[in-house]
Amino acid sequence: MGRLRMAGLAAAACFIAGAAGFAWFVAEVRRPPDLPKRADGIVALTGGAERIETALRLLAADRADRLLVSGTGGNADLAQLARRAGVDSEPLVDRVTLGRSAITTRGNAEETAAWARANGIRSLIVVTASYHMPRALAEIRRAAPDIALYPDPVTPAALRDGGNAGRLAALRLIASEYVKFVAATLDLTALLPAHRPPATATPQHDGIRREVAHQGVRAS
């Protein structure tokens, strides 16, 4: 009987801890941004709408010296990305790095840490989806613990739908992301590949810089 009681108490404690952790996570997802007037750098983690556009607008408004777009895929170049954001790419050419090696959030963090070291970045605005922000911050803090991080979350359409179906979909999305966040905090993401193979990433210099010569864009 004593063992059953102890098992029950342990299960209840785990449930309470999990519920408390999830409640904290939901609050973090909903937290509004509190940005400095200016930071050394900005990083946009690709993978969802409005992330790159938001980061480019911040850079165009001179909220930071430099921008890293981490996890850039395909043949995307600065001119294309700037057009989508409605900003002029020409003044930003020497201030934007298109990082192409990362394939996971951990890869984003490692790519960010390398770029920050190469450019003397001590404060960083982080742009990603609101539900993804806690995990992104956890990974970047592990890779670059000495950098001050300022989240600027983008709220995706999936979290803006106020209907019952939308709320259910949002809950599923946040719950799924919470599981990934827990895995990241336990350092389980180290078990998975974080970067593209060198042959496809075509790194230069510190492994994340790349010339986009056909558009006249230099990744700095």
4-27 confidence digits (pLDDT tens) = 677 666 767 777 777 788 888 988
Instruction: Please determine, for residue 202, whether its predicted confidence score (pLDDT) is greater than 60.
Output: no
Residue with tokens 């996890």, as numbered in its chain? 71
Tell me the C-alpha distance between 93 and 58, whole Å. 15
27-50 tens-digit pLDDT: 889 888 989 999 999 999 998 889
Amino acid letter, 113: A
Q: Which residues contact 73 (CB under 8 A, 6 or more apart)?
A: 46, 100
Reported pTM: 0.82
Reduce the DSSP state of residue 67 to 3 states and report it. Answer: strand
Tell me the C-alpha distance between 174 and 181, whole Å. 10
Instruction: Please determine, for residue 201, whether its predicted confidence score (pLDDT) is greater than 60.
Output: no
Query: Residue 8: what pLDDT?
Result: 67
Q: Which residues contact 40 (CB under 8 A, 6 or more apart)?
A: 64, 65, 66, 119, 120, 121, 122, 123, 124
Q: Are strands 148-151 and 123-127 parallel, antiparallel or unpaired?
A: parallel
The mean predicted confidence, pLDDT, of the chain is: 84
Query: Which of 9-18, 108-117, 176-185 is predicted with the least confidence, judged by mean pLDDT?
Result: 9-18
**13 vs 101: which has the higher pLDDT:** 101
